[in-house]
Amino acid sequence: MRIGVPQEIKDREGRVALTPDGARALVGRGHQVLVQQGAGLGSGFADDEYRAAGASIGTVDEAWAAELVVKVKEPMEAEYGYLRDQLLFTYLHLAGVTPTLTEALLAAGTTGIAYETLEDAAGRLPLLAPMSAVAGNMAVTVGVQYLARHHGGRGVQLGEVLGVRHGQVLIVGDGVVGMHAARTARGLGAHVAVAGLDTKKGLQMRREIADDIHFFISDPGRIAARVADADLVIGAVLTKGAKADSVITEAMIRSMRPGAVVVDVSIDQGGCIETSRPTSHSDPVYVRHGVIHYCVTNMPGAYPRTSTIALTTATLPYVTALADKGLDFLAEDARLARAVNTWQGSLTCLPVAKALGLMQRYREFAPELDSVA
């Protein structure tokens, strides 16, 4: 199969969908890999490294002309013209981004396969996990940065100073983002509270990170009380494929001290903080009710080398299987099939169809039925 790797064009996005080692593995299985010139430079991978791995270097048009296009982020409006009836494997986040992308994918007949809705046999999201881990770590370091007085923050350092711990951190969500954020915040020495839905996750955090992490079952009243006292609030709520619920209300944000910081890691899926709106690495923050909001939609793009290596490690087995078997691979397992969001002009992800109010465009992904017909 011909596999294309375009350069990412989202604001300050340095990641690339495939490392040279990943390209080498695919070429070794008899596939053709074409990487857009310069696509890997943001992650520190030169064109010559891809050539040495057996890949070809070409233009943006050639990369998008492949049968299987692998990317990191959803297509930008400037890329809609490249969409056609190919396989597109990337983070799509259709429930959280502008509906124009969904319409463009449907109109082009693109089979849009989303990293974030692909489940493994245990129901986990293996392709979302590596970037969630990076974002969870980063959410704390970003909070540290903007809490500094010269960034308009409260002037509270999250950390331990001569045995005394400073800073109150609230993390709403107990998944991969929440776990990594808790580990980073507690490692600095901050006081950490986590609102979640799974008491087992709370026990795991206390066992693996620190026994003084305060875990509580997510409840509006308890969250509100913690938000009011927090220096940093991290939103890490995930509903598979669907728009995130706004669990932190505008009233809660109003209760925070001036110069406190919120980081909404859920912003790719619409955000879990009522006052959130998407921002970019070029213009990352804004102030609402005296609270600094950081809502960048491609947070791991700030650390492209680490992120690209971690992402390729996770995606390569699935890219390989798609290249080897095509859609037959996804049809083998209902959990894998949930990764298909658009197919033959229809929406095939039920949570996305509901979130966008496009149930009339919904159709179950079942290619074997078409072949029988």
CB 94, CB 356: distance < 8 Å? yes
* CB proximity list for 39: less than 8 A, separation 6 or greater: 5, 6, 7, 8, 16, 63
| Active-site option among 174, 264, 268, 293 | 268
Nearest partner of 305 among 33, 46, 11, 23, judged by Cα: 46
Nearest partner of 369 among 331, 323, 336, 324, judged by Cα: 331
Tell me if residue 19 falls in helix, strand or coil.
coil
CB 304, CB 15: distance < 8 Å? yes
| Active-site option among 31, 93, 180, 293 | 93
The yes-or-no answer on residue 166 being catalytic is no
Residue 258 exposure: Cα atoms within 13 Å on the Cβ side: 3
The three-state DSSP-derived secondary structure of 86-109 is CEEEECCCCCCCCHHHHHHHHHHC
Tell me if residue 15 falls in helix, strand or coil.
coil
**Which tokens belong to 153?**
């923050």
Residues identified as active-site: 93, 268
